[in-house]
Amino acid sequence: MTDTDSNARTPTRRALIGWGGAGLALGAAAGGGAMAMARTGDGTDPAAAEGGAAIPFHGAHQAGIATPVQDRLHFAAFDVRTGDRAAFVRLLKDWTRAARHMTAGRTVGAGAYGGPAEAPPDDTGEALGLKPSRLTLTIGFGPSLFDRFGLTGSRPRALVDLPAFPGENLDPARGGGDLCVQACADDPQVAVHAVRNLARIGFGTVAVRWSQLGFGKTSSTTPEAQTPRNLMGFKDGTRNIAGTETARLRKFVWVDAEDGPAWMTGGSYLVARRIRMHIETWDRTPLQEQEDIFGRDKGEGAPVGRAHERDEPFLKAMRPDAHVRLAHPDANGGATLLRRGYSFTDGTDGLGRLDAGLFFLAYQRDIRTGFVTVQRHLAGDALNEYIQHVGSAVFAIPPGVRDRDDWWGSTLLA
């Protein structure tokens, strides 16, 4: 990443004490000129996937939801360590300014070098020289945040605490959080750099509660591209909402003014689940059984009895507990999620088995009629023999940052 601000080498009071919100001017974070192609639901041009382009930061919705899914993820949940509302607002403003810089491919504040030798640099420096890599930063507010700063009455009804689901074994150390930051990019170092710098800026005000690295997107918002596969080897997200399907996004993802509360209009709700896959057991399962469990063939991804991946599934031709049959909108009263999942491998479990699986991210207009509805129906899923939900969190994702005078969470806290 490079810093092209004209005052990047001029020491300031802010530079002496670290990145604290100096109002440095930014150029437009454009993806390389006007395009005639269709745009996604957050204004992103699909062509930005080429060449490490920058994704626009400003918009009615936050980037990183309907945006074409990048290949890498660094997701972090934070606990708030202050009871001072003004200090928390300053943090959100500082984070917004830093996010504008990093998503445009620029360093934070006065940069990673060239400032006063007596003070830490404003930017940690590991992304110097790297392209923006389609970095998006998406922020969310957890239920516990609304117990602070007099926000109890502002908690949305749709931001529910999830009920207990059969078979899950949730680790409290891998769930919850007052805040979340989702960093997606095509370069893992760019994504890690972004979260690292936000955590550094927030030191003393927030602290990382848990985090997750992800690779190899397992869902796509660009259906014209090849459908990605999960660690079980099956195509995932064939029927996912496309970023260009504005009507479906409006119906299933974006919060409408009539939904309430007003501060969430244009936002969404996120469910994050860490799903452990028992891949050693799966790898010893016969191919026919694997395909029956999913309800699709492993090569083409076609539903049972069909020839092509995107053929309309004939649900009754599948076994009653097939994953596709139970998860399909037709089996759930139309409930539909926008998924942005990633695979993960985090070493071993100490018993010679890989700690691997799916970090599931699902955006929806209402958690009650979205994830809760679908997950309850999946209680009888044949796939449950091979997976277990071990981490969980929910967040309210506020609307996008409108312009350079706006900031993350302004609709809630201004």
Q: What is the pLDDT of residues 63-107, one digit of tens each?
A: 999 999 999 999 999 999 999 999 999 999 999 999 999 999 999
Position 24 confidence tier, pLDDT thresholds 50, 70, 90: very low
d(CA 243, CA 174): 29
Reported as a single tens digit per residue, the pLDDT across 295-337 is 999 999 999 999 999 999 999 999 999 999 999 999 999 999 9
Reported as a single tens digit per residue, the pLDDT across 96-112 is 999 999 999 999 999 99
Q: Within 10 A of 38 (CB to CB), how many other CB atoms are there?
A: 12
Q: Above 70 in pLDDT, residue 55?
A: yes
Position 235 confidence tier, pLDDT thresholds 50, 70, 90: very high
259 CB burial (10 A radius; 0-12, 13-18, 19+): middle
Q: Where are the alpha helices (DSSP H) in 180-259?
A: 188-201, 246-252
d(CA 44, CA 37): 10
Position 224 confidence tier, pLDDT thresholds 50, 70, 90: confident
Contact 264, 399 (CB under 8 A): yes
- Which is higher by pLDDT, 183 or 10? 183
Chain length of the chain:
414
Q: Above 60 in pLDDT, residue 46?
A: no
pLDDT at residue 23, as a whole number? 31
Lowest mean pLDDT among 223-227, 242-246, 362-366: 223-227
Contact 189, 180 (CB under 8 A): no
pLDDT at residue 226, as a whole number? 86
Reported as a single tens digit per residue, the pLDDT across 184-205 is 999 999 999 999 999 999 999 9
- Which is higher by pLDDT, 61 or 50? 61
d(CA 270, CA 104): 25
Share of the chain above pLDDT 90, in %: 84
Q: Above 50 in pLDDT, residue 263?
A: yes
Helix (H, G, I), strand (E, B) or coil at 158: coil
d(CA 320, CA 129): 53
Position 225 confidence tier, pLDDT thresholds 50, 70, 90: confident
d(CA 75, CA 174): 12
pLDDT at residue 51, as a whole number? 57
Q: Give the global pTM.
A: 0.88
Reported as a single tens digit per residue, the pLDDT across 379-396 is 999 999 999 999 999 999
d(CA 309, CA 313): 9
Reported as a single tens digit per residue, the pLDDT across 114-130 is 999 999 999 999 999 99
Q: Above 80 in pLDDT, residue 19?
A: no
Mean pLDDT of the chain: 90
How far is C-alpha 173 from the chain's CA centre?
Answer: 19
Helix (H, G, I), strand (E, B) or coil at 21: coil
d(CA 123, CA 246): 37
37 CB burial (10 A radius; 0-12, 13-18, 19+): exposed
Tell me which H or E stretch contains 101: helix 85-103
